[in-house]
Amino acid sequence: MKTLTVELGERSYPIHVGQGLLRRPELIRPHIKGRQVMIVSNETVAPLYMESVRTALQGLHCAETLLPDGERYKNLETLNLIYDQLLGENFDRSCTLIALGGGVVGDMAGFAAATYQRGVDFIQIPTTLLAQVDSSVGGKTGVNHPLGKNMIGAFHQPRCVIADTDTLNTLDDRELSAGLAEVIKYGLLGDAEFCDWLEENMQALLDREPDKLAYAIERSCRNKAAIVAADEREAGQRALLNLGHTFGHAIETGMGYGQWLHGEAVATGMIIAAEMSKRLGWIGDDELHRIENLIGKAGLPTRAPASLSTERFIELMARDKKNQGGKIRLVLLKRIGEAVVTSDYRPQDLRAALDAHHAITERSLAF
Amino acid sequence: MKTLTVELGERSYPIHVGQGLLRRPELIRPHIKGRQVMIVSNETVAPLYMESVRTALQGLHCAETLLPDGERYKNLETLNLIYDQLLGENFDRSCTLIALGGGVVGDMAGFAAATYQRGVDFIQIPTTLLAQVDSSVGGKTGVNHPLGKNMIGAFHQPRCVIADTDTLNTLDDRELSAGLAEVIKYGLLGDAEFCDWLEENMQALLDREPDKLAYAIERSCRNKAAIVAADEREAGQRALLNLGHTFGHAIETGMGYGQWLHGEAVATGMIIAAEMSKRLGWIGDDELHRIENLIGKAGLPTRAPASLSTERFIELMARDKKNQGGKIRLVLLKRIGEAVVTSDYRPQDLRAALDAHHAITERSLAF
Q: Cα separation of A39 and A62, whole Å? A: 7
Q: How many residues does chain A have?
A: 367
pLDDT value, residue B367: 42
Element (H, E) at B275: helix B262-279
pLDDT value, residue A367: 42
Mean pLDDT of A216-240: 95
Q: Count H helices, E strands: chain B?
A: 13, 11
Q: Cα separation of A273 and B277, whole Å? A: 66
In terms of C-beta density within 10 A (0-12 exposed, 13-18 middle, 19 or more buried), how is residue B342 classed? middle
Confidence of residue A366 (pLDDT cuts 50, 70, 90): very low
Q: How far is CA A5 from the centre of its chain?
A: 18
Q: How far is CA B186 from the centre of its chain?
A: 12
For each of chain B's 367 residues, which pLDDT tens digit applies?
Answer: 999 999 999 999 999 999 999 999 999 999 999 999 999 999 999 999 999 999 999 999 999 999 999 989 999 999 999 999 999 999 999 999 999 999 999 999 999 999 999 999 999 999 999 999 999 999 999 999 988 889 999 999 999 999 999 999 999 999 999 999 999 999 999 999 999 999 999 999 999 999 999 999 999 999 999 999 999 999 899 999 999 999 999 999 899 877 899 999 999 999 999 999 999 999 999 999 999 999 999 999 999 999 999 999 999 998 888 787 778 999 999 999 999 999 999 999 999 999 999 887 655 554 4
pLDDT value, residue B215: 97
Q: Cα separation of A232 and B135, whole Å? A: 29
Mean pLDDT of A26-55: 96
A11 catalytic per annotation: no
Q: Cα separation of A21 and B306, whole Å? A: 55
Q: Cα separation of B173 and B180, whole Å? A: 11
Say which amino acid occupies A245. Answer: H
pLDDT value, residue A361: 65
| Beta-bridge partners for A14 | A5
Rg of chain B's alpha carbons, rounded to an integer? 20
- B180 CB neighbour count, 10 Å cutoff: 28
Q: How far is CA A161 from the centre of its chain?
A: 14
pLDDT at A364 over 60: no
Judge contact between B317 and B253, C-beta under 8 A. Answer: no
Nearest-by-CA chain B residue for A233: B118
Q: Cα separation of B328 and B318, whole Å? A: 6
3-state DSSP assignment of residue A7: coil
Element (H, E) at A42: strand A36-42
CATH number of A173-366: 1.20.1090.10
Q: Cα separation of A119 and A111, whole Å? A: 9
| Contacts with B, A 229-248, CB within 8 Å | 233-234
Confidence of residue A243 (pLDDT cuts 50, 70, 90): very high
Give the best residue of B84, B149, B152, B245 to mutate against chain A (max A CB count within 10 A).
B152
| B115 with A233: Cβ contact below 8 A | no
B73 to chain A, closest Cα gap in Å: 16
pLDDT value, residue A147: 86
| A153 with B118: Cβ contact below 8 A | yes
pLDDT, tens only, A273-297: 999 999 999 999 999 999 999 999 9
Q: Cα separation of B17 and B4, whole Å? A: 8
Mean pLDDT of A39-66: 97
Closest C-alpha to B101, from B140, B68, B76, B57: B68
- A318 in contact with B, Cβ within 8 Å: yes
Residue in A74, A149, A219, A224 annotated catalytic: A224
Distances (CA, A) of A58 to A37, A272, B15, B324: 11, 49, 49, 20
Mean pLDDT of A184-199: 98
| B325 with A153: Cβ contact below 8 A | no
A145 catalytic per annotation: no
DSSP A328: P
Residue in A149, A219, A249, A290 annotated catalytic: A249
pLDDT value, residue B114: 98
pLDDT value, residue B366: 46
| B147 with A80: Cβ contact below 8 A | no
Domain with CATH 3.40.50.1970 in chain B: 2-170
| B92 with A321: Cβ contact below 8 A | yes
Confidence of residue A363 (pLDDT cuts 50, 70, 90): low
Domain with CATH 1.20.1090.10 in chain B: 173-366
Contacts of B117 in chain A (CB under 8 A): 151, 153, 321
Confidence of residue A325 (pLDDT cuts 50, 70, 90): confident
pLDDT value, residue A152: 98
Q: What kind of fold does domain B2-170 have according to CATH? A: Rossmann fold (3.40.50)
B35 catalytic per annotation: no
pLDDT value, residue B364: 57
pLDDT at A108 over 70: yes
Distances (CA, A) of B118 to A155, B2, B93, B362: 6, 33, 8, 50
Q: Cα separation of A121 and A112, whole Å? A: 10
